[in-house]
Amino acid sequence: MSPARPFSRQLQRLLLLGTLLLFALYFLTPLYVMLVTSLKDADQLRSGHLLSLPSAPTLDAWSKAWQSACTGVECGGLRPFFVNSLLMVVPAVVVSTALGAINGYVLSKWRFPGSETLFALLLFGVFMPMQVVLLPMSQVLGWLGIASSIWGLIAVHVLAGIAPTTLFFRNYYVGLPDELLKAAMLDGASFWQIFRRIVLPLSGPILMVTLIWQFTSIWNDFLYGVVFSGADSKPITVGLNNLANTSSAVKEYNVDMAAALIAALPTLFVYVVAGKYFVRGLTAGAVKG
Amino acid sequence: MSSIPASLIGLGVAAVLGLSGAARAGEVEVLHYWTSGSEAKATASLKASLQAKGHTWRDFAVAGGAGDAAMTVLKSRVVSGNAPSAAQIKGPSIQEWAREGVLASIDDVAKAEQWDSLLPKVVSDAMKYKGSYVAVPVNVHRINWLWINPAVFKKANAKVPTTWDEFFVAAEALSKAGVTPLAHGGQSWQDFTTFEIVALGLGGPEFYKKAFIERDPASLAGPTMEKTLETFKRLKAYTDRGANGRDWNLATAMVIKGEAGMQLMGDWAKGEFQAAGKVAGKDFLCVAAPGTAKSFSYNIDSFAMFQVKGADKIKAQKDLASAIMAPAFQETFNLNKGSIPVRAGVPLDKFDDCGKLAAKDFADSAKSASLLPSVAHGMAVPAAAEGAMKDVVSQFWNADKMTAKDAMSKLVAAARTR
Amino acid sequence: MQTRHSGPNPWLPRLVVAPGLALGLLFIYGLMAWNGYLSFSASRLMPNYGFVGWAQYEALLENDRFRVAMTNLAIFGPLFIGGAMALGLLLAILLDQKVRAEGVLRTIYLYPMAISFIVTGTAWKWMLNPTTGLEQVMRQWGFADFSFDWLVDPERAIYCVAIAGVWQSAGFVMALFLAALRGIDDAIIKAAQVDGASLPRIYWRIIIPSLRPVFFSTLMVVSHLAIKSFDLVMALTAGGPGYATDLPATFMYATAFTRGQIGLGAASATVMLATVAAIVVPYLYSELRPRK
């Protein structure tokens, strides 16, 4: 550190921190608004404005959102939907990640004529709008007999997840030195053995990235969830939508916000806790290309 | 033979009854978009009456956009071969679905209960396809209401308007008193609701029918329409800046709080007033929108019946249709929802003054052919044309540069959309 | 890679990847083809397989709302992508300066990615609406002339959509760039510092150019988010005022599902896909080609 101008260096640091904090405000404000609204009661909502702190914070809205708000004829809050989402998300994430890993492994280390083209084709698929999927998949799932069920929903999420997961794994594995595999093959290792013994153990970071990404996309999805699920397997986004988007009558914004925060808790938790693994995974080359 | 003991006969009868009872325990899956507290209570009474008959109710609620998301789900379900028993469909969409060949006829129930004599012809026609009933109406909402905060009016020395000229006089007075004259929510259905109310008030039922229901190009591009558009645009100066995107209940809240003097909205606005503890006739007034005292533009929610397989499911579906038309359900549901019963023969004493007035006007206008379906609420025109027309009207409201003549030619094109 | 070796059968990898890839590709291109077929059909309320030639596309060209939607995509797309990339890069560079609160700040920038707009939509709507949001708060705090009514202005509302969109994605971009920055060899930087180059110059000349591979991947991800911006628009403006903030994705949804014009919706989706392809495919080609 040059001793020449410590003051300007301090100024630079201050500017740096100031800028960072300003942006932090931009990022935090919506969350703050939601939190603060969810802690107010009906009267406090009417007085005050959206940034004002609750004069008498209460958790009533939270308890109502969890167990007694109406989401249709049922008035059981978000609790039943929470379980449905979990039951649907876990298999979908696991299967799509597994498929992505295998695809990525082959496309990066076992290239064959046309593999790059196939990869590019898959990559382009990432731009297809979700609405295009709805009707034809309904037809297909109807033929397969799994329409309007949790299995149908899981199937759609797995299929839609193949493109992004393959992208992540393939880009990461490309960074693994080929020598490792060559050495293993000289030792007589088979295709699967190389995968299990060498590639997989090195996949920690990218596994984290993919799992987090898939978990977030699938947990937050509404469109597939409302169209492909059955009466007993509706995910939490559907419940939240019913709770908050009522087309008539009194809007209880505090309950809406509490419900929205409840729906966001798992993914928020994942990002806050696993966030550093996420970045570590990216550092290790997830998207170096 | 007389030697058969009576007890055995009794047992036999019981067995037969028991068997048919078991065959009757079917399941109805109902797709709807009633998800708020008051709607849930209203729908729960329907569920209860079905459960009393031994059936199960599988609820499939999808909120949002007055049914947009629900329609998406419905289409997917039908495409996958797995339609629900009943879905909340209204207006011309009923016939569109019927044309696809996926609706089931409930004529047997209709004839047994004589629905033709209980419903106005305009309504029963809308529930039929090629003469057979395929849908059941649940309620009647009146659209052409003007809601007024009398305290604000008194302070501003304004008079309750009965014509559009009087409306602008009152609006000026309110504006001078520092209050927003007209509370409005800038969403396309609200824009069109206001527009069609103005059209009805200025042109009367005949004009409304020709322009909106028959979609006659001459009416859509004629002088009355031009006057309607100009009056409609004049209203904008009396709304506030934050109107865009505002939900209807927040606009009503403005009237409740005294920040605005009037709102043009259907009778569900009453629910907001009542939830805030206001009393009809004292804290708020419901009057027919200017120029529309003798007319009644309506929104009728209904359930269309889809083809389902299995004798028990079919029986459950027919019981559902019958339960919806039952007077007891009609009374409970409409008291909770703020609308009025659609069938004749339901006691009205528990309904409030606005409800009673609406019921009387409903019956009267049915007789005088001024009972009109609302375009803004999907009652009069197929969805594609309705959407296109709403686009034009909302553009006209929002874009300062569009002239009435532009709007009219666009309306004619929009009305032709298939 | 290897074509002649005494290792595993060369067909094994292709067999293994075949089902997964095939399903993935079938899902994507099968559906696009089905959608393409529908765009040439007379489908309205439900899919109907009668062929009508270019009729739907002609109707599309005459449709003012579609024109607005495509224009909006041309405005919103670059704004959103550019904004997210620029802000993300800026935040990454700032955070790379060994700030003590890096962990906390990083989480703050990253968390919006975790939440869907169905959750945050209402909050954003409030914040941007002149009578309940920023404008009202500033006026209550004494800035009587402050005005921020872009959300209700048909010409400017799309910028609000971009603001909310950037909020959601910039953190993710930051994470990607930060990771890449961390991967750059310190030796090069130290060498440049010894040569007397100033920090900004080092960034401009050495560091940013070496981010090119990450730039590609990030651009792909953010563009994907831009095209998918359905929840964002629906929650914030529902396409309004009027249809001033309509995007092709919301247009397609409205025509196909709400208005019973499946054929028209399919045509709009095809046009959107073709436009995206025209831009993305050359870029993909140029980036993936030399990577042999």
B77, two tokens: 């379900």
The alpha carbon of residue A230 is apart from the nearest alpha carbon of chain C, in Å, by: 19
Q: Cα–Cα distance between C95 and A283 in angstroms, integer?
A: 14
Contacting C residues, span 27-56, partner chain B, CB-CB under 8 Å: 44-47
Give A259 or C192, the one with higher predicted confidence.
A259
Q: Name the class of domain B143-298+375-415.
A: alpha beta
Residue C241: is its pLDDT beyond 90? Answer: no
- What is the rounded distance in angstroms from the CA atom of residue B297 to the CA atom of residue B71? 24
Residue B200 has pLDDT above 60, yes or no: yes
Residue A110 lies in a domain: yes
Share of chain A above pLDDT 90, in %: 15
DSSP string, B153-182: HHHHT----SSHHHHHHHHHHHHHTTSEEE
> Does residue B21 register a pLDDT over 80?
no
Statement: residue A240 has pLDDT above 80: yes
Q: What is the CATH number of the domain that holds A223?
A: 1.10.3720.10
Q: Which range has the worst mean pLDDT, A169-173, B406-410, C75-79?
A: A169-173
CB–CB contact C260 B68 (8 Å)? no
Name the closest residue on chain C to residue A251, using Cα atoms.
C122
* The predicted structure's pLDDT at residue A101: 92
In this predicted complex, what is the ipTM? 0.79
pLDDT at residue A49 is higher than 50: yes
- Percent of chain B whose pLDDT exceeds 90: 58
Choice among A86-90, A230-234, B147-151, C232-236 with the minimum mean pLDDT: C232-236
pLDDT, tens digit (0-9, with 9 covering 90-100), for C35-91: 888 888 888 888 877 888 888 898 888 888 899 999 988 898 899 999 999 999 988
A186-195, pLDDT tens digit by residue?
888 888 888 8
The shortest CB-CB distance from A129 to any of C114, C115, C269 is to C269
Mean pLDDT of B59-75: 83
- Identify the residue among B94, B391, B402, B406 best suited for mutation to test binding to C, counting C beta carbons within 10 A and taking the highest: B391
Per-residue pLDDT band at A284 (split at 50, 70, 90): low
Query: Which residue has better confidence, C287 or B137?
Result: B137
pLDDT at C120: 78
pLDDT of residue C289: 66
Cross-chain Cβ contact C280/A49 below 8 Å: no
Of the options 3.90.1150.10, 3.40.50.720, 2.20.25.90, 3.40.190.10, the CATH number for the domain spanning B26-141+299-357: 3.40.190.10
Output A62 or B13, whichever has higher pLDDT.
A62
pLDDT digits (tens, 9 = 90+) for B167-176: 999 999 999 9
More confident residue, C132 or C156: C156
Banded model confidence at residue C113, pLDDT cuts 50, 70, 90: confident
| Cα atoms in the 13 Å half-sphere on the side-chain side of A46 | 10
Question: pLDDT tens-digit profile of B371-385?
Answer: 999 999 989 998 889
Q: pLDDT at position C290, please?
A: 54
pLDDT at C284 over 90: no
- Per-residue pLDDT at B161 exceeds 50: yes
Q: Which residues in chain B have their CB less than 8 angstroms from residue C44's CB?
A: 96, 384, 418
Rounded mean pLDDT, C203-229:
79
What is residue B160's predicted lDDT score, i.e. its pLDDT?
Answer: 93
Residue C206 has pLDDT above 80, yes or no: no
Is C114 in Cβ contact with A264 (below 8 Å)? yes
For A72, the closest of B59, B77, B82 (CB atoms) is B59
Residues A109 and A237 reside in one and the same domain: yes
Per-residue pLDDT, C3: 44
Domain annotation covers residue A113: yes
Average pLDDT of the residues in A64-83 = 86
Q: Considering chain B, what percentage of its residues have pLDDT values greater than 70? A: 94
Domain residues of chain B, as ranges? Answer: 26-141+299-357, 143-298+375-415
Report how many Cβ contacts below 8 Å link chain A to chain B: 116
pLDDT at A5 over 70: no
Which residues, 6+ apart, have CB-to-CB distance to B305 below 8 Å? B85, B86, B103, B104, B105, B106, B134, B135, B136, B317, B320, B321
pLDDT band at residue A247 using 50, 70 and 90 as cut-offs: low
Rounded to an integer, the average pLDDT of C85-104 is 86
Mean pLDDT value across residues A217-225:
90
Buried b (16+ CB within 10 A) or exposed e, C56-69: bbebbeebebbebb
Distance from CA of A168 to the nearest CA of C (A): 9
When pLDDT is cut at 50, 70 and 90, the band that residue C211 belongs to is confident
Distance from C-alpha of C196 to C-alpha of B333, rounded to nearest angstrom: 81
Q: Whole-angstrom Cα distance, residue C30 to residue C21?
A: 13
Name the closest residue on chain B to residue A140, using Cα atoms. B80
The pLDDT of residue C267 is above 70? yes
Q: How many beta-carbon contacts under 8 Å exist across A and C? A: 272
A128 and A53 both lie in a single domain: no
According to the model, what pLDDT value does residue A289 have? 40
Q: What does the alpha-carbon distance between residue B196 and residue B392 come to, in Å, rounded to a whole number?
A: 13
Q: CATH topology of B26-141+299-357 equal to that of B143-298+375-415?
A: yes
pLDDT at C30 over 80: yes
Q: How many domains does chain A have?
A: 2
Band (A285; pLDDT cuts 50, 70, 90): low
CA distance C13 to C25: 17
In a domain, A67, yes or no: no
Contact B93 C261 (CB under 8 A): no
Q: Highest mean pLDDT: which of A243-257, C188-202, C266-280?
A: C266-280
pLDDT digits (tens, 9 = 90+) for C157-169: 888 888 888 998 8
Q: Compare CB distances from C16 to A29, A49, A106 and report the shortest one's residue.
A: A106
Give pTM, 2 decimals: 0.83
* pLDDT band at residue C1 using 50, 70 and 90 as cut-offs: very low
Which pLDDT belongs to residue B5?
A: 53
What's the CATH number where C138 sits?
1.10.3720.10
C8 within domain boundaries: no
The residue with greater pLDDT, B329 or C142, is: B329
pLDDT band for position B15 (cuts 50, 70, 90): very low
Residues A96, A53 share a domain: no
Between C220 and B407, the higher pLDDT residue: B407
Which residue in chain B is spatially nearest to C47 when comparing CA positions?
Answer: B79
State the pLDDT at residue C292: 44
Higher model confidence: residue A229 or residue C120? Answer: A229
In a domain, C217, yes or no: yes
User: What is the pLDDT averaged over residues B110-120?
Assistant: 91
Region A265-275 average pLDDT: 86
If one compares C239 and A60, the residue with the highest pLDDT of the two is: A60
> Which residues on chain B are in Cβ contact (under 8 Å) with C259?
383-384, 386-388
* Average pLDDT estimate for A147-153: 89
In a domain, A206, yes or no: yes
- What is the residue range of C150's domain? 63-288
| Range of the structural domain that residue A11 is part of | 6-58
pLDDT of A37 above 50: yes
Q: What's residue B14's pLDDT? A: 45
Query: What is the model's pLDDT at position A48?
Result: 67
Q: What is the pLDDT of residue C7?
A: 55
Cβ separation of C242 and B240 shorter than 8 Å?
A: no
- For chain C, say whether A191 makes contact (Cβ under 8 Å): yes
Q: What are chain A's partners, defined as 3 or more CB pairs within 8 angstroms?
A: B, C
B395 lies within 8 A of chain C by CB: yes
pLDDT tier for residue B1 given thresholds of 50, 70 and 90: very low
The angle that helices C262-288 and C64-95 make with each other, rounded to 10 degrees, is 40
**Average pLDDT, rounded, for chain B:** 88
CA distance A37 to chain B (A): 17
Helices (H), chain C: 11-25, 31-39, 55-62, 64-95, 102-110, 117-128, 134-140, 157-182, 186-194, 199-202, 212-227, 231-236, 248-253, 262-288
User: Based on the domain organization, do A238 and A95 belong to the same domain?
Assistant: yes
Do residue A136 and residue A271 come from a single domain? yes
- A267 vs C contacts (CB less than 8 Å): 114-115
Per-residue pLDDT tens over the stretch C2-25: 444 445 667 777 777 778 888 888
pLDDT for res A120: 84
pLDDT at B65: 66
Beta strands in B93-194 (DSSP E): 128-129, 132-133, 135-137, 141-142, 145-148, 180-183
